Structure 1
């Protein structure tokens, strides 16, 4: 079986990191798993892509950074025709437009597509006209994409209600954010720290979705003079966030650590892990924090968050975007009361468990002729939809 994965680049991102680890795991198991990239650069290339030998289409003579999606739509059909994969892996929500475009451009010659739903589908952060259009886009995906993966129990209901794929077209495969060996290494880094104050840590791309501005505001409002905040990650919002920290008067207590390989290995002395996102799927960084043994303070940015945090046993949840609530919880950061439970939760989301489960799903959809394109052609797309408000 040949499984084709397509990604924008090696730029750091949770979706891309998980996809690259799956490709490596499948190849270790003897699966033919080609990798297609819109462009070949990015910090994870040296970290995870050394032996992957991705196919990168010859560029148009200038950088395609910023419009990799369009470039992939233009160049991926030819690669599919040449390599004839048995199935394709759509690694996250942002890649669904490429998957649907392949179905339209290739028709019945397009291999079946399995798509992982990597982000919240409700998207309450959107204004209602945009949210209505987004829900229409989800319905279109349900017509064209063959199979969907929910990354945690409970998320399949969201997919069924908003994407509405065909019967039997949803699997639940816990997100392979960790490996058993990685969990052992992460648990080993937990240790006490001498000195005053508390250390708060966060990991994530410095992008608008992550709403690090909310985290900085809450820290400025509730943290003590000896408290520190360390943020691991890089992204387009760094300059704006640095300026914000100076306006808030916390620049001396805030450290931007940049992109580092395996940042979770460096948070073992922290007192709590922070997540301030507006929306997420199953945040891999939360699972890493649980593997380390840190309590979590997070926004309720996903339908999976309550179950991830054991209904409050492993951390505290606040409404997304609620500065006052985030600051209140940060001021009285909880200690982790159930270390064994955090370890057990982390072990549910491993590469060792997920990789064969994905292969089973690929085998099922590759064994039958794809029906999604034909169904989509037969059924009209609804012209009106009920407002989500």
Structure 2
């Protein structure tokens, strides 16, 4: 079986990192896995130096600003050139390309297996926009051959909102880690135990693109409400909202206690030093950063940004959930972390669900079923 995965670039993102991890795992297993990319830009290129993707040559014309249209225009040629048995759509941001391939190629388009990487309810959208969004989900459901939810609670969402029958749904826990990452993250955190105990104040960690979806503005407001003079917050990531977030931190009077160092990988040191991971997003799928925190043995404070969050945190065993958009509730949960009853060993065991070694085999099974169908 030949698999073709298409990505825009190596720009940091959870969807792209998981897709690259799966692609590498399939190649290691002897699968004929092909990777097509719109361009080679992005910090994650350093993390995958051995990959040799087929790049959609733009002859020097910048394509980042219109990358989706560029992919739609050029991917059909790559599909006809590689002749894959199945197309792997890595996440929601790529489903528009998948639907376009079905419409443009017709019978020449191979079966498409699409990972649904975000919450489908999207309660953050105003009602008129949500009406159009739900109809777009049904269009996707008609054209995508098999949809993959990243956690068991997503099955009902896929069935209802995308109008997909059970025989076209697969559930595969999102491969946020390699199996070897779990002992490495755990060891780094255990080594830092004495250092954490000796310092003054608490250290809160947030990770993600500086984008509206992540609602880091809410996190800054929550931190300003509850932080003592020795408490610190680090927001790891880069994106278009940097200046707005820096301005908000200044207005809230917390500039000296908040750092935004940009994209960092690996995150072992940051996860080792933190007292809690905080997720303030309006919507998510199965956030990889939460799995990394569990593997390290780090408690989580999160908004209910996904139907899967309860399952990820084992219904309150490994973290505290609060409503989306509620700065006061988020601040209270962050303040409660020092007294939160947390079993690091159990969290690390729970993280074993989310490894590429398991997911790569499950994805192959879903793909073979789609080819047979």
TM-score (norm 1): 0.92
1:196-345 matches, within 5 Å, as 196-334=200-338, 335-345=340-350
SS of 2:50's partner is coil
Q: Which runs of 4+ in 1 moved over 3 A?
A: none
Measured after TM superposition, the shift of residue 58 of structure 1 is 1.5
Identify unmatched segments of 5+ residues in structure 1. Answer: 369-389
CA contact (8 A) 1:295 1:336 kept: no
Query: Given that residues 201 and 270 in structure 1 are in contact (C-alpha distance below 8 angstroms), is that contact kept between their aligned partners in structure 2?
Result: yes
1:357 and 2:362 matched: yes
1:314–1:342 CA contact under 8 A, matched in 2: yes
Residues 143-202 of structure 1: CA deviation (Å, up to 9, x unaligned): 000001110111111111100123400011100001110011001111222221000111
Segments of 5+ residues of structure 2 without an aligned counterpart are: none
Q: Distance in 1 between matches of 2:115 and 2:201?
A: 41
Q: How does 1:20-99 map to 2 (within 5 A)?
A: 20-48=20-48, 50-59=49-58, 61-99=60-98
The structure whose residues are more often helix, as a share, is 2
CA distance in 2, matches of 1:6, 1:241: 32
Query: How far did 1:106 drift?
Result: 0.2
**Equivalent position of 2:159 in the other structure:** 160
User: Which secondary structure state, in structure 2, belongs to the residue aligned with residue 66 of structure 1?
Assistant: helix
Cα displacement (A) at 1:332: 2.2
Residue 30 of structure 1 aligns to a residue whose secondary structure is coil
Range that drifts further, 149-158 or 57-66: 57-66
Aligned residues: 367
Comparing 228-237 and 135-144, the one that deviates more: 228-237
Distance 2:175 2:79 in 1: 26
SS of match in other structure, 1:175: coil
* CA apart distance, 1:263: 1.7
Q: CA deviation at 1:28?
A: 0.5
How many angstroms does 1:131 deviate by? 0.2
Counterpart secondary structure, 2:157: helix
Partner of 2:106: 107
Distance 1:74 1:264 in 2: 40
Residue 233 (structure 1) shift: 0.9
Secondary structure in 1 aligned to 2:55? coil
CA RMSD of aligned residues (A): 1.1
TM-score, normalised via structure 2 length: 0.96
- Structure 1 CA distance, aligned partners of 2:156 and 2:183? 33
Partners of 1:96 and 1:365 in 2: how far apart? 17
SS of the residue 1:343 aligns to: helix
What is the CA–CA distance in structure 2 between the aligned matches of 1:155 and 1:70, rounded to whole Å?
Answer: 29
Q: Over residues 179-238 of structure 1, what are the superposed CA-to-partner deviations in whole Å (9 max), with x where a residue is unaligned?
A: 110011001111222221000111111111000000001001111110000111111111
